[in-house]
Amino acid sequence: MSEGGSLAPAATAGAPALARLGDDVRRVPERLRALGADPAVARARPAILGVAALIVIVLIWLALRAPQWQPLYADLSDGDKAAVMTALQAGNYQARINPDTGSVEVVAGNSAAARILLAGQGLPKSAHAVDPVGDMPLGLSRAVEAARLQSAAAIELSASIRAIDGVKHATVHVAVPEPSVFVRDKAPPSASVFVTLAPGRALGEAQVRAIVWLVSSSVAGLAPDRVSVVDQSGALLSAGSTAGEAAQLGYQVKLEGLVRERLFKLLTPLVGAGKFTAEVAADVDFSRSEAASERYGPDAVVRSEQSSRTVDPQTLPARGIPGALSNTAPAGAQLSTTPPAGAAPAAPPPAATSETSNRAWEVGKAVQVTRGDAPRLRRLSVAVVIDRGGAAAGKGMAPQDLAALTRIVRGAVGYDAARGDLVEVQLRAFAPVAAEPVRAWYAHASVADSMPLFAGVGTALLGLGVAIWQWRRSRRALLAAGAAVMAGSPAGGAAPAGAKPAAADGAAEPSPHALLVDYSAKLGATRDLVSDDADRATAVARQMLAAS
């Protein structure tokens, strides 16, 4: 009993507190209305509405603006992409895969933190540097070691080629034959490069030659003509024109541009800018010729002469058949003191004679070598068309003036009739130049991208205008009510029905601000009376409702 008696006063004491709390909660709207009726708050209401509208605009812009994405990694395999996306989502990073390029992207500003997170997990695996020497275990065969070193060199070459502007991805394949002492004819090494170009980009001839020389210089014994470069469309880029052909084409274009520049400098003061057009075609011979000739002088001088003569007497050899007669002694000789008459003299013994003569002449010789390496202009064709409407203020040009102008053009371009040059100058009416269509301001890409922002700003401004209009309407009604209260009797009685409010004699009509202050004071006094004696206020309200 004592315990129950001690709890009763506590419950009785807590009831008024709860009642006061309920009254305070019910009075919150009234207090807010009183705060809105405060003159200071009423004066600051436009500024408050402006700040609120600005906050709404910023919130709408933040909600409609797409996040800025920044590439994190490109050219990853599908396995690496899946691992990277899983790691980023686990780390509460907003990430996506670009539908156009296929690269992994994160919100701008989070790329550094995302890279650190992925690096801590060893991702992506394909981005790690290749260390063929450090990763080689002991006991590898020579063939496997050579294959791994060759693969590492190809990967490094691919990375170097990807650094070239316009190349998105590159793959290098190198074929080096295995050296062997049992093979007589060794096949030379070769290489192929597959490049994937960025959208809208193309490799020039100089870049293709640079790739070819880069690969050939990185592989021992690899000739540049053994390197093939292919793009993603299957076009063989290395089969283009050689450096010599490109130089010849550049020389021809430079020559034609030089002649065309001379024509423009010559005809612009005579005809006027934009009143003529000129084209030049040069036929250049780039063939090379080489001739060598030797000439001997007609006046030769004997430098030395040697002659020799040899006489060798010969005896008749023995003849006959050796036998009995050869062993018989000859008969005795019969000597005679007188020679026989008419006897012929004895013939001299036969002899062999040999004569040799050697004579050296001093001969004059001239050697001449002629090389025709310089390009030769075979023919020059020039066409000049003058606007008929622009020449001489639209009156055309006399034939003699046109002939004189033709001679001037021929002299400027170096006309040579023997070479077959052609120079043609004619008058023709030029077609009017169509004006470029003016692009509407709302058709620009920047305006289209900013349309959500413009829509948000327009909505906020419309809401601000409606709020200001409603506030002005409420303010006018409040001022009218205050004027009606001030127009009553001095005792506070109500004015007769249909009577117009009138000011006191000799007193000026109160200002709207004074009326608003008086109305606020009366409204506050009425609120205090109602809070002090709610029953009486309820009875008065019932009487007013019954009277109305």
Per the structure, the complete domain to which residue 44 belongs is given by 37-66
81 located within any domain: yes
d(CA 34, CA 32): 5
Confidence check: pLDDT of 8 > 60: no
Give the pLDDT band (50/70/90) at residue 314. low
Task: Identify the pLDDT of residue 508.
Answer: 47
Residue 189 is predicted with a pLDDT of 92
Q: Give the pLDDT score at 18.
A: 62
Residues 42, 147 within the same domain: no
Angle at which helix 534-547 crosses helix 512-532, to 10 degrees, equals 120
Which residues have C-beta within 8 Å of that of residue 78, sequence separation ≥ 6? none
Do both 86 and 203 map to the same domain?
Answer: yes
Fill in the amino acid letter for 437.
Answer: P
Residue 213, domain member (yes or no): yes
Residue 409 within any structural domain of the chain? yes
Look-up of token digits 């070819």: 212
- What's the confidence (pLDDT) of residue 531? 76
Nearest Cα neighbor of 371 from 292, 315, 300 is: 292
How far is residue 69's CA from residue 105's CA, in Å, rounded to a whole number?
Answer: 6
Asked if residue 53 is part of any domain, the answer here is yes
What integer pLDDT is reported at residue 492 of this predicted model? 41
79 and 166 together in one domain: yes
Question: Given a cut of 90, is residue 229 above it in pLDDT?
Answer: yes
Residue 547 resides in a domain: no
Please check whether residues 113 and 95 belong to one and the same domain.
Answer: yes
What pLDDT is recorded for position 340?
Answer: 61
Termini Cα distance of the chain? 57
The backbone region for 166, taken as left when phi is positive above 0, alpha when psi lies in -120 to 50, beta otherwise, is left
Domain co-membership, 82 together with 104: yes
Split at pLDDT 50, 70, 90, the class of 500 is very low
Q: How confident is the model at residue 504 (pLDDT cuts 50, 70, 90)?
A: very low
Q: How many Å apart are CA 299 and CA 297, to the nearest integer?
A: 6
Q: What is the mean pLDDT of residues 111-137?
A: 73
Q: Are residues 46 and 105 in the same domain?
A: no
The pLDDT of residue 147 is above 60: yes
Residue 206 resides in a domain: yes
State both tokens at 142: 């020579």
pLDDT bracket for residue 123 (50, 70, 90): confident
Residue 171: its pLDDT value, please? 92
Residues in the chain, total: 548
Q: Are residues 227 and 210 in the same domain?
A: yes
How confident is residue 498, by pLDDT bands cut at 50, 70 and 90? Answer: very low
Domain CATH for 398: 3.30.300.20
* pLDDT band of 144, cuts 50, 70, 90: confident
Q: What confidence category does residue 318 fall into, taking pLDDT thresholds of 50, 70 and 90?
A: low
- Which pLDDT value is given to residue 211? 93
pLDDT digits (tens, 9 = 90+) for 415-461: 999 988 999 998 888 888 776 777 777 677 667 777 777 777 778 78
Instruction: For the beta carbon of residue 57, count every other beta carbon within 10 angstroms.
Output: 19
Q: Quickly count: other Cβ atoms within 10 Å of residue 256's Cβ.
A: 18
Whether the CB-CB separation of 190 and 175 falls below 8 Å is answered with: yes
Look at residue 42 and tell me if it is in a domain: yes
Dist. CA 179–CA 185, nearest whole Å: 11
Q: Within a domain: residue 103?
A: yes
Q: Are residues 101 and 223 in the same domain?
A: yes
Count: domains in the chain: 3
Task: Name the pLDDT band for 228 (thresholds 50, 70, 90).
Answer: very high
H helices of 142-235, where? 142-162, 205-218
pLDDT of residue 543: 80
